[in-house]
Amino acid sequence: MSEATLYVKHKGDDLLIVSLYVDDLLIIGGNAKLVEEFKREMMQIFEMTDLGLMTYFLGMEIKQLEDEVFICQKKYAKEILKKFHMEDCKAMATPMNQKESLSKEDGTDRVEEGYFRSLIGCLMYLTASRPDILFSEFSHGALRSKKL
């Protein structure tokens, strides 16, 4: 059974979207008055703090402009490099040769399963803002913890 975490309110032509994550509310709406009204009503019922425009959430840096929203995971990517002892690695323009054929049994040492799964999980989350690494992550993830 899953919990409802996304709520939508229609008021005339206006739309208010509220996403609940643990004890955080993300409130999105095209009508500032409707957003403020919702926040006021919630603050009357619950003890809440309005942190203003979102700038960082779940490892993602958020930059909001008038008509655009940008998501960046630079800080999260650096945390991944640190976690896997790769802070001094050399950057590559292309994450992986698309024609390379990967194999479970190519004579190299096996990777510890928990370590590999952790790495793949981190990279999967990173693809939210870096779809260019998705092919490489998928190809390696398909090997199921046998090779890196």
Shared domain for 80 and 137, answered yes or no, is yes
Q: Is residue 21 part of a domain?
A: yes
Q: Find the domain containing 101 and state its range.
A: 74-141
pTM greater than the 0.85 cutoff: no
Spatial CB neighbours of 144, under 8 Å, sequence gap ≥ 6: 104
Q: Is residue 13 part of a domain?
A: yes
- How open is the CA angle 123-116-139, to the nearest 5 degrees? 60
Residue 92 in any domain: the answer is: yes
pLDDT at 141 > cutoff 90? no
Q: Compute the C-alpha angle 26/58/6, nearest 5°.
A: 35
Residues 79 and 132 in one domain: yes
Coil/strand/helix, residue 72: strand
35 and 90, same domain (yes or no): no
Domain tally, the chain: 2
Res 95: pLDDT: 59
In a domain, 147, yes or no: no
Asked if 137 and 106 sit in the same domain, the reply is yes
Residues 44 and 98 occupy one common structural domain: no
Q: Is residue 131 part of a domain?
A: yes
Q: Parallel, antiparallel, or unpaired: how do β-strands 56-57 and 60-64 relate?
A: antiparallel
In this predicted model, what pLDDT tens digit does every residue of 87-139 receive, in sequence order? 998 877 765 666 777 666 767 777 788 888 898 889 888 887 877 776 665 55
DSSP helix/strand/coil, 99: coil
Lowest mean pLDDT among 55-59, 69-73, 90-94: 90-94
Specify the pLDDT at position 16: 94
* 38 in a structural domain: yes
Which one, of 64, 39, 38, lies nearest residue 49 by Cα? 39
